[in-house]
């Protein structure tokens, strides 16, 4: 009798244990066992449990990554403060993980910061950009790749030498923003375009403030993508973007392949720049200019 | 004891049934008019449950031959469709019209080529299918699993330089196939059955769900929808969603594409980032569409991108 009962339970178990083609799928690091146990379910409907989970994952105390990242990028003895007024504006739930638009809104007290680093904890390439400003900057926007659900963190170094950290948890519907080709079935933007074409646009904002938007055509290969023949596409990305105008430098940005292909960058300046120019260098050592370079330089 | 044995038997039966039906398309044709049938696609995004069968596939039976409209997402789907059609009629499946190259409409076509069916597709769409097919196929496999795409191949095939519109006769019924280029895609085909006044418009019209715009020319698309509204039909089979009988229902597709286009143009002009627009939520009038959020979030950045550095 007991054996029969066991047998029924076994069959019941086998029935519910089946979770579709995603059953062999591994969820991202840093998430608890119960969440990662049924990624399909979780991805399809984020519930109250996953919201609690995200709050927990956002707490740097629970993060497996944060301490290492902090030591490595901000320094061993960095003074770190998790603040609420540094906001990362982006979707909570991401459908297309290859080009995720986000904007970092910087509070007034930090407009004249010394350095800004954007991090995606659960990405194979965690650092997205590191920016050194030369002017007052109010917001920074860009498109990033997301490999999996992850806390996104922006670390801003203020004049007093304190790091102000803003955080946001995001969920990714179909994982693999870094490791699958950026060619969505619906979009098909998989043709490599001309490398190094730069477009710069300037927009007026209220009270003399300005927004600069720049786009650089570049494949930004992560080195994690396999092509149709099974060959790994080697990494190839923009390493540095230098933005200046006639009055001198505006920002110097170190970039990594966690930025999307054909990256778009957005800078909100407190004061209008005068004929903004962009100079780009990539990992092959190629240089691109948004302007005609003076040969005598 | 006998009681328990029965229970065990039922469980084993159910489990084995599930194993069999794991990657099987559970599709049944609906009769639209006499000898015209439609397999309704799952009006959803591609997911591991629907196996990518999200668009509508139809077939028309004449007295001499059969014409199929759209091949579905995979070889398995194509096989299933052919199998079902054969249970309805023993006439040869002579033509397959692929309305455009998107995977949910075209990836089953290699099965029809094996079957000796003549494929009718706009040249621009054949080019796209051949060029992007393998990469898209790989993406789809990643998304919902390899099993759904067993034997699915991207095949280059001959197209005898067809000049549209073309007329085909299935025996007792005249079919007209027209090209609407640079609208929803680079080359959408529309199929008209004169006998029943039924028109198959592919993805030029979406019913209930939000239209997708990745390859669209909004201006032309708008004009085409007006043209379709003005033409003479009793039944309209859209690429996605239920059968349409009232012309007014076409306005829903128009409304969405114009709305999203307007927002994208405005955003591009003002230098806004999609993140800022998403932050405001989906506009109220668009919420009634199925997959509104998914489509809004997927398509708006594409359109802004298209306009912002123009």
> Is residue A34, in this structure, part of any structural domain at all?
no
Closest chain A C-alpha to B180 CA, distance in angstroms: 20
Instruction: Report CB contact under 8 Å: B139, A102.
Output: no
Structural domain including A186 reads 80-289
Instruction: Report CB contact under 8 Å: A228, B138.
Output: yes
pLDDT reported for residue B190: 96
- Asked whether the predicted pLDDT for residue B135 surpasses 90, the reply is no
Interface of B with A in 189-218 (CB under 8 A): 212, 214-215
User: In chain A, whose CA is at the least distance from the CA of B137?
Assistant: A185
Instruction: Report CB contact under 8 Å: A15, B298.
Output: no
ipTM score assigned to the predicted complex: 0.72
The count of structural domains within chain B is: 1
Give me the CATH number covering residue A162.
2.60.40.10
pLDDT reported for residue B8: 62
How would DSSP label each residue in chain B?
-HHHHHHHHHHHHHHHHHHHHTT-----EEEEETTEEEEPPPSS---TTTTT--S-EEEEE-SS-EEEE---SSHHHHHHHHHHHHHH--S-EEEEE-----HHHHTTHHHHHHTTPEEE--HHHHHHHHHHHHHHHHHHHHHH-GGGGTT----------PPSSEEEE-SS-EEEEEEEETSSSSEEEEEEETTTTEEEEEEEEESSBPPP-TT--HHHHHHHHHHHHHS--SEEEEEESS-B--GGGGHHHHHHHHHHHHHHHHHHHHT--HHHHHTT-S-GGGTTSBTHHHHHHHHHHHHHHHHHT-
* Residue range A252-289, pLDDT digits in tens: 999 999 999 889 999 999 998 888 999 999 999 999 99
> Is residue A253, in this structure, part of any structural domain at all?
yes
Given pLDDT bands bounded at 50, 70 and 90, which one contains residue A27?
very low
- Asked whether the predicted pLDDT for residue B70 surpasses 70, the reply is yes
Q: Other C-beta atoms within 10 Å of A24: how many?
A: 7
Question: Mean pLDDT throughout B270-276?
Answer: 90
Burial-class residue A39 by CB neighbours within 10 Å (0-12, 13-18, 19+).
buried
Give me the CATH number covering residue B218.
3.60.15.10
- Does residue B48 sit at the A interface (CB-CB below 8 Å)? yes
The count of structural domains within chain A is: 1
> Is residue B301, in this structure, part of any structural domain at all?
no
- Asked whether the predicted pLDDT for residue A50 surpasses 70, the reply is no
Interface of A with B in 102-131 (CB under 8 A): 102-103
From the list A14, A99, A190, the residue facing B15 with the nearest CB is: A14
pLDDT reported for residue B205: 96
Mutation site for B-interface testing, chosen from A188, A201, A202 by largest number of B Cβ within 10 Å:
A188
pLDDT reported for residue A99: 86
Question: Mean pLDDT throughout B255-279?
Answer: 92
Can you name the residues that pair with A236 across neighbouring β-strands? A221
* Residue range A137-158, pLDDT digits in tens: 999 999 999 988 889 999 999 9
- Asked whether the predicted pLDDT for residue B247 surpasses 90, the reply is yes
> Is residue B15, in this structure, part of any structural domain at all?
no
User: In chain B, whose CA is at the least distance from the CA of A99?
Assistant: B301
Of A53 and A237, the one with more pLDDT:
A237
Kindly list the residues from chain B whose CB atom is less than 8 angstroms away from the CB atom of residue A99.
301
Kindly list the residues from chain B whose CB atom is less than 8 angstroms away from the CB atom of residue A264.
305, 308
Closest chain B C-alpha to A76 CA, distance in angstroms: 33
Question: Mean pLDDT throughout B303-310?
Answer: 83
pLDDT reported for residue A36: 31
* Residue range B75-86, pLDDT digits in tens: 999 999 999 999
User: In chain B, whose CA is at the least distance from the CA of A187?
Assistant: B214
Instruction: Report CB contact under 8 Å: A7, B103.
Output: no
> Is residue B272, in this structure, part of any structural domain at all?
no
- Asked whether the predicted pLDDT for residue B232 surpasses 50, the reply is yes
- Does residue A51 sit at the B interface (CB-CB below 8 Å)? no
> Is residue B277, in this structure, part of any structural domain at all?
no
Tokens read off for A289:
């200019």
Rg of the Cα trace of chain B? 21
> Is residue A64, in this structure, part of any structural domain at all?
no
Q: Give percent above pLDDT 70 in chain A.
A: 75
Structural domain including B184 reads 21-248
Instruction: Report CB contact under 8 Å: B139, A184.
Output: yes
Question: Mean pLDDT throughout B116-124?
Answer: 94
pLDDT reported for residue A17: 45
Tokens read off for B61:
């039976």
pLDDT reported for residue A191: 58
pLDDT reported for residue A14: 52
> Is residue A255, in this structure, part of any structural domain at all?
yes
Given pLDDT bands bounded at 50, 70 and 90, which one contains residue A170?
confident
> Is residue B282, in this structure, part of any structural domain at all?
no
User: In chain B, whose CA is at the least distance from the CA of A105?
Assistant: B276
> Is residue A92, in this structure, part of any structural domain at all?
yes
From the list B12, B136, B275, the residue facing A11 with the nearest CB is: B12
> Is residue A61, in this structure, part of any structural domain at all?
no
> Is residue A25, in this structure, part of any structural domain at all?
no
> Is residue A21, in this structure, part of any structural domain at all?
no
> Is residue B175, in this structure, part of any structural domain at all?
yes
Average model confidence (pLDDT) across chain B: 89
Interface of B with A in 213-252 (CB under 8 A): 214-215
- Does residue B10 sit at the A interface (CB-CB below 8 Å)? no
């Amino acid at each position: 009798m007991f054996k029969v009962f066991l047998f029924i339970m076994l069959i019941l178990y086998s029935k519910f244990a089946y979770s579709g083609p995603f059953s062999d799928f591994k969820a991202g690091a840093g998430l608890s066992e119960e969440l990662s146990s049924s990624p399909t379910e979780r991805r399809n409907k984020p519930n109250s449990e996953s919201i609690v989970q995200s709050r927990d994952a956002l707490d740097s105390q629970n993060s497996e990554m944060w301490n290492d990242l902090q030591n490595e990028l901000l320094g061993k003895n960095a003074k770190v403060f998790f603040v609420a007024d540094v906001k990362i504006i982006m979707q909570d739930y991401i459908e297309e993980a290859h080009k995720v638009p986000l904007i970092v809104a910087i509070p007034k007290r930090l407009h004249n910061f010394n350095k800004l680093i954007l991090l995606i904890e659960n990405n194979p390439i965690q650092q997205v950009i590191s920016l050194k400003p030369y002017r007052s900057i109010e917001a920074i926007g860009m498109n990033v790749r997301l490999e999996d659900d992850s806390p996104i963190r922006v670390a801003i170094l203020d004049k007093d030498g304190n790091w102000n950290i803003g955080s946001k948890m995001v969920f990714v519907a179909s994982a693999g923003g870094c490791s699958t080709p950026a060619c969505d079935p619906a979009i098909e933007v998989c043709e490599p375009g001309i490398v190094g074409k730069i477009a710069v646009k300037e927009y007026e904002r209220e009270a003399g403030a300005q927004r600069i938007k720049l786009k650089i055509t570049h494949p930004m290969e992560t080195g994690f993508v396999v092509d149709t023949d099974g060959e790994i596409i080697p990494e190839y990305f923009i390493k540095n973007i230098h933005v200046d105008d006639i009055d001198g430098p505006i920002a110097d940005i170190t970039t990594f392949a966690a930025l999307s292909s054909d990256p778009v960058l957005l800078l909100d300046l407190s004061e209008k720049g005068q004929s903004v120019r962009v100079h780009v260098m990539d990992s092959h050592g190629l240089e691109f200019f948004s302007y005609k370079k003076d040969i005598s330089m | 004891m006998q009681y328990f044995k029965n229970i065990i038997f039922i469980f084993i039966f159910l489990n084995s049934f599930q194993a069999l039906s794991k990657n099987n398309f559970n599709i049944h044709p609906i009769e639209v008019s006499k000898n015209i049938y439609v397999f309704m696609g799952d009006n959803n995004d591609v997911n591991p449950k629907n196996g990518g069968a999200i668009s509508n596939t139809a077939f028309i039976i004449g007295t001499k031959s059969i014409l199929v409209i759209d091949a579905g997402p995979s070889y398995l789907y194509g096989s299933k469709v052919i199998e079902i059609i054969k249970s309805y009629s023993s006439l040869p499946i002579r033509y397959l019209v692929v309305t455009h190259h998107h995977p949910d409409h075209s990836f089953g076509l290699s099965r029809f080529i094996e079957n000796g069916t003549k494929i009718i597709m706009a040249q621009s769409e054949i080019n796209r299918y051949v060029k992007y097919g393998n990469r898209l196929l790989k993406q789809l496999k990643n998304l919902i699993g390899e099993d759904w795409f067993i034997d699915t191949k991207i095949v280059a095939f001959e197209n005898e330089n067809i000049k549209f519109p073309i007329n085909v006769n299935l025996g007792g019924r005249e079919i007209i196939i027209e090209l609407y280029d640079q609208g929803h895609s680079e080359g959408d085909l529309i199929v008209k059955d004169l006998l029943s006044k039924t028109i198959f418009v592919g993805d030029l019209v979406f019913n209930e769900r939000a239209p997708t715009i990745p390859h669209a020319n909004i201006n032309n698309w708008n004009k085409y929808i007006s043209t379709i509204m003005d033409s003479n039909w009793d039944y309209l089979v859209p690429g996605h969603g239920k059968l349409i009988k009232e012309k007014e229902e076409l306005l829903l597709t128009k409304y969405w594409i114009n709305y999203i286009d307007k927002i994208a143009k405005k955003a591009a002009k003002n230098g806004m980032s999609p993140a800022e627009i998403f932050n405001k939520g989906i506009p109220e009038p668009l919420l009634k569409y199925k997959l509104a959020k998914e489509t809004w979030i997927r398509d708006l950045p594409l359109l802004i991108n298209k306009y912002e550095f123009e």
